[in-house]
Amino acid sequence: MEIVIAIAANIVVGLILLALFAWYRSPGNARLSGPDEALSIYRQHFPDASGTVTVAADGLAALISLRPAPGVGLLQLHGKRWSSRELTPEDLRTIAVEGDVINISLLDFGWPRCSVRIADPDSRADWVSRLNALAARSERSKVASHA
């Protein structure tokens, strides 16, 4: 009888943990409503930040053209929290475009990539150009390869 109680207790605890895990991992309803909200959230980490904001079409990320140029700020929803960072040339690994999505690969173990969906082709091309110019300033790109 004791074994049945122990098994039942383990099953109940397991179901509770599974429910908590599912609740924790469920996507939130957070979306950026516009550039002002994105800049406000970004300023929680970088209080002096100012610039022009491009919010992703799905509201899950934003790119910020920081002043003074050529700084670039990145804001992205991770789980139920917003993560923000100022991109430096040393942060960028690759920039790729697939349809209307800019895929940014970073050299950060904790934040290895970011996808920003920008519907406007002119704005998307401008951001790809700006990110590629920032990546080109990296010391990594100045190292001569060994043949």
User: Higher model confidence: residue 142 or residue 94?
Assistant: 94
Whether 62 and 32 have beta carbons less than 8 Å apart is answered as yes
Q: In this predicted structure, what is the pLDDT of residue 139?
A: 59
Are residues 96 and 115 in contact, defined by beta-carbon separation less than 8 angstroms?
Answer: no
pLDDT in tens, 24-76: 665 567 788 889 999 999 999 999 888 889 999 988 999 999 887 678 899 99
Name the pTM for this structure. 0.72
pLDDT of residue 146: 44
pLDDT of residue 67: 83
* 3-class SS string, 12-70: HHHHHHHHHHHHHHCCCCCCCCCHHHHHHHHCCCCCCCCEEEEECCCCCEEEEEECCCC
pLDDT number for residue 144: 44
Q: What is the pLDDT of residue 80?
A: 77
Alpha-carbon Rg for the chain, nearest whole angstrom, is 21
Question: What one-character-per-residue DSSP string does 95-131 give?
Answer: EEEETTEEEEEES-SSS-EEEEE---HHHHHHHHHHH
Q: What per-residue confidence (pLDDT) applies to 92?
A: 86
- pLDDT tens-place string over residues 83-133: 999 988 888 888 899 999 999 988 888 888 899 999 999 999 999 998 888
Burial status of residue 6 (CB atoms within 10 A of its CB: 0-12, 13-18, 19 or more): exposed
Query: Quick one: tokens of 9?
Result: 């207790």
Q: Domains in the chain and their CATH numbers?
A: 35-139 (2.30.29)
- Residue pair 85/111 in contact (Cβ under 8 Å)? The answer is yes
